[in-house]
Amino acid sequence: MYQYIRSWAFWLISFMIAVSMTRCANIVPPGGGPRDSLPPTLAAVNPPDSSLHFKNKKVYFVFDEFVELDNVNDKLIVSPTLKRTPIVTAKLRTVTMELKDTLQENTTYTFNFADAIRDINERNAIPDFQYVVSTGNYLDSLQMKGHLIDAENGVPDSNVAVMLYRNLEDSIVSKEKPVYYAKTRPDGSFRFKNMAPGTYKLFALKEEDRDLQYNQPSEMIAFVEKPIVIKEKNIEGVNLLLFMERDSTIKEPLTPKDSLDLALDQEEKDREKEKEKEKKKKTPKLQITPTLDGGMQELPAPLQLTFNLPLRTLDSARVILAEDSTFTPVTFHTQMDSTHTKLSVLYSWKEGTPYRMIFPADAATDTTGQQLPKADTISFKSKKSSDYAIFGVTLKISDSTRQAINSDTMHYVIQLVQDKTIKYSGTAVNGTWLQKFITPGEYEVRVLLDANGNGKWDRGQYYKEPKRQPERVILVPGKQNLKAYWTVRPTIEI
């Protein structure tokens, strides 16, 4: 009887709100005025938020203005997870959520709509809109908070699925959907609310198919080695390092090929053979292209030369490197890469000095037997040290970082990054690092916590033993604007 009266009361209140809004809308004439920047406000909900002994199949949310849904199927998160996603619709001022699953007994459910509900006119979304109910006598109230970054670059990653499992098997992340599920925010933070006490395995996944299972080689994973026990107190400060496994044991499902597949494979092979024949008919002439900055050679880097075709032989003894205005021949060394197309010329360049590199026509022969059409001369000039910046770092290790790592054996690699590419890097010695000959520009500064001392970032592994966390990279806030003939020596605390 009580629920019957409460339901009628809800619809009576909703009707009065609708009539009131309609009357107000008739009074205010159309025209100018300040732009509406406020999101809709919840005026009524049936059953009420925080209801106990919840058994309804439908929930009605009434707002103070007309609303619409934005990508609600992707944004709605239900914890604990359901096998079937609720159907959510919007009409005028009312959003209706219809449950298609039977809810577990004595369980607290959280329905997080994120910013999926917004007003129709100005598209102002309600941030972090949530609805919580319990099928039992009380609401679970435990919380867990944490932070996630991409381990390789130290950047927070948003919209990554963070998942909790009651089943503590290692392979559970590839078999089942989680019990609790949240998404990271733009700053990498995540939070679980209204949790039940228990012991959980914690994972995070960045995936394309959104099936909440670690089953594709291209997916990124983060994990905590030991199960997390939450009883009476909330948990904070959980840190996750996201990475992609190399040579992952996860493989895409194999299916037997039928005759059509085999026929298509053969057609593809035939097309490739035809392409190879065409390539041989249209083989270009052998050419050399230098990598120079406007005709200027970087200090103290090698001169990089690229051949458009792989070489069979190169007689470097016949190649001449001539220096300064007198073009005096000098001794140099060369290194060919594994593709036999890129040649590094090693020499201690003098500042601001002109050079010529002369290749006789028969000095290089490609794999088809071609030689250079004629002798090729590459003219360039070396840069000056005043064209470059100098960057030096003094590292200060905070107490919190010392507690989190073994600071006595840790190596710290400083990275200068531009356009997501590491341009310069080196290991700090006694807490300091100095780099000369830096091309002027803006750089991000990162610090790699190099546990094994090999000078490069190492990814983690989950499905191979022993399990291993990836090495962590700390992104230093702000950018360094390095200018020619400047020396910058900041102290960085991590």
Residue 4 has pLDDT above 50, yes or no: no
Higher pLDDT, 3 or 225: 225
How many residues does the structure list for the chain? 494
- % of residues, the chain, pLDDT over 90: 77
- 141 pLDDT band, cuts 50/70/90, is very high
Architecture (CATH level 2) of domain 142-242:
Sandwich (2.60)
**Where do we find the tokens 């024949």?**
277
* Average pLDDT along the chain: 88
Angle CA 197–202–203, to nearest 5: 150
Residue 383 has pLDDT above 50, yes or no: yes
Q: Is the dihedral of CA 47, 50, 55, 61 positive or negative?
A: positive
pTM of the model: 0.78
Higher pLDDT, 282 or 17: 282
Q: Domain spanning 288-386 has what CATH number?
A: 2.60.40.3710
pLDDT value at residue 2: 41
- 403 pLDDT band, cuts 50/70/90, is confident
- 19 pLDDT band, cuts 50/70/90, is very low
Higher pLDDT, 199 or 2: 199
pLDDT value at residue 18: 47
pLDDT digits (tens, 9 = 90+) for 243-281: 999 754 444 333 333 333 434 456 666 666 666 666 555
pLDDT value at residue 150: 97
Segment 121-131 shows an average pLDDT of: 94
Beta-bridged to residue 94, according to DSSP, are: 62, 91
What is the CATH topology of the domain spanning 2-24+36-132? Immunoglobulin-like (2.60.40)
461-466 long-range contacts (CB < 8 A, ≥24 apart) are 461/245, 461/246, 462/214, 462/221, 462/223, 462/245, 463/245, 463/248, 463/249, 463/250, 464/245, 464/249
What is the CATH topology of the domain spanning 388-493? Immunoglobulin-like (2.60.40)
pLDDT value at residue 253: 36
pLDDT value at residue 247: 53
pLDDT value at residue 219: 94
pLDDT value at residue 34: 66
CA nearest 414: which of 431, 439, 397, 433?
433
- 332 pLDDT band, cuts 50/70/90, is very high
pLDDT value at residue 261: 42
Q: What are phi and psi of 423, to 5 degrees?
A: -90, -40
Weakest-pLDDT range from 21-30, 127-136, 265-274, 392-401 = 21-30
pLDDT value at residue 68: 97
pLDDT digits (tens, 9 = 90+) for 27-76: 344 445 567 789 999 999 999 999 999 999 999 999 999 999 999 999 99
Residue spans per domain, the chain: 2-24+36-132, 142-242, 288-386, 388-493
pLDDT digits (tens, 9 = 90+) for 471-494: 999 999 999 999 999 999 999 998
Fold identical between 2-24+36-132 and 288-386? yes
